[in-house]
Amino acid sequence: MIFFESNLILYYFGIFFTLYIGVFYLITLFENREKIRDPKVGKLYTLSIIVPAFNEAKTIGKTLVSLKNLNYPQDKIKIIVVDDGSTDNTYEIASRFSGVKVIKKENGGKASAINIGLKEVGTELVAVMDADSFVTEHALWSMVGYFRNKRTMAVTPALKVYSPKGFWQGVQYVEYLFSVFFRKMFSFLNGVYVTPGPFSVYRKEFFDKYGDFQENNMSEDLEVALRIQSHDYKIENSINAEVFTVAPNNFKALLKQRVRWYSGVLNNLYAYRHLFGSRRGYLGIFVLPVTLVSIVLVLALLGYYGATLFISLLKNLYQIRLVSFDVMGIAQDYLANFSVLKYISPTLVLFVLTISFTVTIFILSRIYSQDKGKVFGSFLMYALVYGPIFGVMWITTIAHKILNLKIKW
């Protein structure tokens, strides 16, 4: 006999969808397991690294030190800092570094700062580096070999959270580790759709042919990736090229960041909607549609079951009132009569299976990216709260869109 609860149809769909995506990506990993290793470096390309900065005095020094320490011939690297009208001493700190060109401009946004830097670039490759991020010594060496393929226009790194402290950074640390895995899988499918700000490396000729970063676009890194895909070039990913970025450490800053990002996702996916469909391979028929369906599904699940759980909690609180708030008595009865058996149901078994899949992907991501961080506590926090946080971020983003609110940096 199979017990099937009709009021759990949405839950069952969510579980099946998650399992399907997980299995698909694990098959992708299996098919491409020989290609996990980065290709050997052939030619030593010349590279300019543009560091757009606005009030990054706290971190830019460390960023520049990490760039100077790249395990790559220093005579092949040019570093250009573009101070986008900082009001702190970002400019002064950057100017102290020898061999770093520092340009000061009036505040005009990150994309405008990058574009000023692009004008100075005469090298074959150009990287963009956020001023609150740090590369590992071997990152560039891991990435450069991908450019041997002439169709490769960009290579993205394995982006992780720098030295996570506290609840919010811990949750993001786990989130970024999942992204490390998925970005590599996207690259196997020619489906990478974002070149993140911290140390994505591009072929300069792409900007010469197709224009600079869009200055009116809040997610210029997403837009340029979609543009590369649109012109039928490749974006690769190096799972070994570790780059660390400072993540928001409180809810308000995180919400602001994610509203900006997610608005960018909506705007840019709409602008590049021609990328959907089988003509664009796995990008158009799987990666992009799955991204959208995931968002809708999470919101639907949270909405429906979140409301059900909330009503159930209210009912429990009301019933505690019926017994004169004898919480200790209720707790004692609960513990005295506790049995794991009473929670066993098809719903729970499916949930455990899905969590097992998620943990498997997480472990694979850590293995392939050689992650050494202490993650157990962070993973538990992530498992408990990420869904609702994700939902709140998206609901806020959609509210901003509907109410036409201004989105700030």
- Residues near other proteins (CB under 8 A) are 1-5, 12, 15-16, 19-20, 22-24, 27-28, 31, 151, 190, 232-234, 278-283, 285-286, 318-319, 322-324, 326, 329-330, 333, 336-337, 339, 341-350, 353
Q: How far is the CB of 126 from other proteins (least distance, A)?
A: 21
Other beta carbons within 10 Å of 49: 26
Nearest to other proteins of 7, 404 (CB atom)? 7
Q: How far is the CB of 349 from other proteins (least distance, A)?
A: 4
Nearest to other proteins of 323, 399 (CB atom)? 323
3-state helix, strand, coil in the chain (%, to 5): 60, 15, 30
Nearest to other proteins of 293, 399 (CB atom)? 293
- CA 57/CA 25 separation, integer angstroms: 40
Nearest to other proteins of 341, 403 (CB atom)? 341
DSSP 274: G
Nearest to other proteins of 216, 278 (CB atom)? 278
Q: How far is the CB of 17 from other proteins (least distance, A)?
A: 9
Nearest to other proteins of 281, 306 (CB atom)? 281
Asked whether 265 and 220 are in contact (CB, 8 A), the reply is: no
DSSP letters for 181-238: HHHHHHHHTT------STTEEEEHHHHHHH-S--TT-TTHHHHHHHHHHHTT-EEEEE
Q: How far is the CB of 297 from other proteins (least distance, A)?
A: 15
DSSP letters for 298-363: HHHHHHHHHHHHHHHHHHHHHHHHHTTT-HHHHHHHHHHT--GGGG-SHHHHHHHHHHHHHHHHHH
Residue 369 corresponds to which tokens in the numbers above?
Answer: 């990216």
Q: How far is the CB of 28 from other proteins (least distance, A)?
A: 8
Alpha-carbon distances of 202 from 48, 156, 250, 253, 363, rounded to whole Å: 10, 9, 32, 29, 30
Q: How far is the CB of 352 from other proteins (least distance, A)?
A: 8
- CA 273/CA 350 separation, integer angstroms: 35
- CA 125/CA 228 separation, integer angstroms: 15
Nearest to other proteins of 205, 232 (CB atom)? 232
Q: How far is the CB of 298 from other proteins (least distance, A)?
A: 18
